[in-house]
Structure 1
Amino acid sequence: MSSGRALTGTAWAVLLLGLWFWGKDGAEGPSGASAPATGDIAAVGRPLGLPLPPAHDPLAPAEPRRVEIPSIGVSAPVVARGLDRDGAIDPPPYELPGTVGWYGSGTRPGASGAALLVGHVDTQTRPAVFYGLSTARPGTTVAVTRSDGSVAEFTVDDVRVVPREGFDAGRAYGPHLPGRSELRLITCGGTFDKEAGAYTANVIVSAYLTGTRARG
């Protein structure tokens, strides 16, 4: 339990490449519980005058192994996730709250296109890997260690809380600029709807490739 608040299971609502991605809520949560980011629609955007680095050319495809976001305390293994029996992307199990899931049939982080990384915001008892994701800001560095020994370094350029109802999935999860290597990090946000067993929104952090280095 965190700060005396009973945490609830996470529920997903992500549309990617025409596939609905739903994480099932396994138990009832307390009425009114909320994720760190609230509100129907919120966009942090880029503060005026904040210089962001130029984009780096996309890298050869390689699978992600670890993601690190030092400014919000994230250092987590990455596992590929496939589809469940309903044809939806299967999130990491609740037994692994510190693990990030990557849609393994999609773009590899660092390659051209938008790669998808997902993580739970909380469990029934404690915060999970992406609990602090909504506090990321433009300019934040996201490092993804890859299977070829390289580290792809991304820079956050947008942070949004998008309501589950009526959102444009292509706009939310598709590439912002053609030919660029991009990253989407997604978790739940808004308030927890006990009747629906789901959070009312998704936190979507967008980043783009700005550098690469060898794994230390």
Structure 2
Amino acid sequence: MSSGRALTGTAWAVLVLGLWVWGRDAAEVPLGSSAPITGDIAAVGRPLGEPLPPEHDPVGAAEPRRVEVPSLGISAPVVARGLDGDGAIDPPPYDMPHTVGWYGSGPRPGASGAALLVGHVDTDTRPAVFYGLSAVRPGAAVTVTRSDGSVVEFTVDDVQVLPRDGFDARKAYGPRRPGRSELRLITCGGSFDREAGAYTANVVVSAYLTGAKGMAAGR
């Protein structure tokens, strides 16, 4: 997500379309499998025949404090965020381009459901925390250090670039499997539409819990 360039909350507005999936009974509805993504929405599909690690049972809920994607060199603090005045997810301030925002009204990473982490892709002058996010590969590890001292590890399932036009919120943010602990890493993608003051798409990385260490693992 960019700062300036006549940008307000518009670039984030598409994210609000998915917030309802954390309400009511969305977590109980299967929204597809972890099958390979194909077609022009795919950034990185899973190599055919390459197995991914088995899922880990959800662990006790604790707030995220830091997220790391070692294969991309990402290591960033995480802060809880709510909604802004337009009803979109309020991202970290533009003067904190290397901080990741967690949608605090949704699931916590490691608990059952799909937790949402959002970050800027760039600023007016430099890349930001999720600049290289679209390059992450299926099978890559994502670790989240939590407030109880535990570390939960997720495995990337797939990467999608979803255009704003015809955006499917359930596909982007809904859990792939009921009762499973999942994670979404989201930033802007596509091209920057100067007239609209927004990017044309969102990069959505989907991952699922495959390990836990520390306090959470024993609960």
- TM exceeds 0.5? yes
In structure 1, what is the Cα distance between the partners aligned to 2:62 and 2:82? 17
Aligned to 1:18: 20
2:149 aligns to what? 149
Matches within 5 A, 1:13-52: 13-14=14-15, 15-18=17-20, 41-52=41-52
* Over 6 Å off, 4+ runs: none
Say yes or no: does 1:190 pair with 2:174.
Answer: no
Q: Higher helix proportion, which one?
A: 2
Please say if residues 40 and 162 of structure 1, whose CA atoms lie closer than 8 Å, have aligned partners that are also in contact. no
Task: Output the CA distance in 2 between the equivalents of 1:43 and 1:125.
Answer: 25
2:138 is equivalent to residue 174 of structure 1: no
Which residue number corresponds to residue 93 of structure 1? 93
d(CA) in 2 for partners of 1:132, 1:198: 18
- Report percent identity of matched pairs: 78
State the number of aligned residues: 190
* CA drift at 1:84: 1.4
Deviation at 1:16, TM superposition (A): 2.1
SS in 1 for 2:47: coil
* Partner Cα separation in structure 1 for residue 42 and residue 52 of structure 2: 21
Which residue is equivalent to 1:131?
A: 131
**Given residue 135 of structure 1, which amino acid in structure 2 is its aligned partner?**
A
Uncovered stretches (5+) of structure 1, i.e. residues with no partner = 1-6, 20-38
Letter of the structure 2 residue corresponding to residue 92 of structure 1: P
Amino acid at match of 2:86: D
Aligned counterparts of 1:89 and 1:163: Cα–Cα separation in 2: 18
1:163–1:40 Cα change, 3 Å: farther
Residues 113 and 178 in structure 2, CA contact (< 8 A), matched pair in contact too: yes
SS of 1:71's equivalent in the other structure is helix
- What is the Cα deviation at residue 17 of structure 1? 2.7
Write the letter of the residue equivalent to 2:148. Answer: D
CA deviations 1:79-105 (Å, max 9, x no partner) are 000111222221111100000000001
CA distance in 1, matches of 2:73, 2:123: 18
Q: 1:34 — aligned with what?
A: none
Matched residue type, 1:68? E
Shift of 1:40: 6.3
User: Which structure 2 segments of 5+ residues have no match?
Assistant: 22-38
SS at 1:52 equivalent: coil
User: In structure 2, what is the Cα distance between the partners aligned to 1:195 and 1:92?
Assistant: 24
Shift of 1:78: 0.1
